[in-house]
């Protein structure tokens, strides 16, 4: 999740302190890059999204009044830039990406545990990239970046109900893809366990229904397996690595340094 910086840092940045602004921009880079990479599906586009987002933040941080959370504001900017980038990207294919597309292994030597985690995330990330855009963005914002459903609704300009519906479809599709098998026919008396689980995650499941479902899962191996798989998938999403390659950091910091060295930053409309 995008960690909000201390109020003092944000206040200093909004008052024109260049060191505070640099610290602010540095703190949000990894999450913005991760979101841009999954939404645009190519490193070159993600780098452009990151640079444009950081420049927009630098130009408009003084206008941030706290009407929404900082995370909501930053992701709304990033999403707007992602949409523009996807429209003109030479990399955005027609249809949906395959699950195998874009799985990049980390060439750096790492401890076994870290390598295993990254490999697991690579598989999940590829499955996320294969989702339709409207499902991909809500799942990234809610389950990877950690925004609440209400905050996601603010970012994408939809109702909470619409967001939760997209989340349910995205989580179900992700689970089916990662299990590498079509959804099994429901046994007589089995509920839509994916929908029930999604409601439970969002805290909207009626307590009585929750109690009945807990009992059902205890006696139904198929539903228990699906719940375990969903928990594991969401756990991987919530612990996704957020790293900006060093060469990209250096290029963007060089560009930002030139912009921040200007006597004044031109006003720019924010989403």
What pLDDT score does 132 carry? 94
Quick one: CA torsion of 191, 192, 198, 200, rounded to 10 degrees? -10
**Structure confidence by residue, pLDDT tens digits, 74-87:** 999 999 999 988 77
Closest CA to 47 of 91, 4, 93: 91
Q: How is residue 126 written in tokens?
A: 């590829």
**Structure confidence by residue, pLDDT tens digits, 181-230:** 655 555 677 888 888 888 888 888 899 988 988 999 899 988 898 888 88
Residues 6+ positions from 235 with CB-CB distance below 8 Å: none
Domains and CATH numbers, the chain: 1-92+241-271 (1.10.1740.10), 113-239 (1.10.10.10)
Query: Contact at 8 Å (CB) between 261 and 54?
Result: no
Residues 6+ positions from 46 with CB-CB distance below 8 Å: 33, 36, 37, 40
Residues above pLDDT 70, as percent of the chain: 78
Strand ranges for 102-160 from DSSP E: none
Q: Is the Cα torsion angle 46, 47, 52, 57 positive or negative in sign?
A: positive
Distance CA 225, CA 242 (A): 29
Strand ranges for the chain from DSSP E: none
**Better-predicted residue by pLDDT, 108 or 176:** 176
Question: What DSSP string runs through 14-39?
Answer: HTT-HHHHHHHHHHHHHHHHHHHHHH
**Structure confidence by residue, pLDDT tens digits, 19-33:** 888 888 888 899 999
């Amino acid at each position: 999740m995008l960690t909000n910086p201390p109020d003092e840092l944000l206040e200093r940045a909004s008052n024109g302190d260049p060191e505070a602004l640099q610290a602010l921009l540095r703190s949000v880079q990894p999450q913005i890059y991760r979101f841009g990479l999954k939404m645009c599906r190519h490193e070159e586009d993600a780098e452009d999204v990151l640079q444009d987002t950081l420049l927009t933040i630098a130009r408009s941080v003084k206008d941030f009044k706290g009407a929404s959370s900082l995370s909501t504001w930053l992701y709304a900017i990033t999403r707007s830039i992602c949409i523009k980038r996807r429209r003109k990207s030479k990399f955005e294919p027609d249809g949906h990406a395959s699950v195998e597309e874009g799985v990049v292994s980390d060439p750096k030597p790492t401890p076994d545990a870290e390598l295993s985690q990254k490999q697991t995330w690579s598989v999940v990330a590829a499955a996320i990239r294969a989702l339709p855009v409207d499902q991909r963005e809500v799942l990234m914002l809610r389950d990877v970046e950690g925004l609440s459903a209400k905050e996601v609704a603010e970012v994408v300009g939809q109702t909470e109900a619409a967001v939760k519906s997209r989340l349910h479809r995205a989580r179900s599709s992700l689970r089916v893809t990662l299990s590498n098998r079509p959804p099994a026919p429901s046994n007589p008396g089995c509920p839509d366990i994916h929908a029930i689980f999604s409601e439970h995650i969002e805290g909207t499941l009626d307590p009585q229904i929750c109690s009945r479902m807990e009992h059902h899962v205890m006696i139904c191996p198929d539903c228990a397996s699906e719940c375990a798989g969903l928990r594991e998938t969401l756990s991987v999403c919530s612990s996704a690595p957020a790293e900006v390659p060093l060469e990209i950091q250096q290029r963007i910091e060089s560009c930002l340094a030139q912009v921040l060295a200007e006597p004044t930053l031109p006003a720019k409309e924010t989403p």
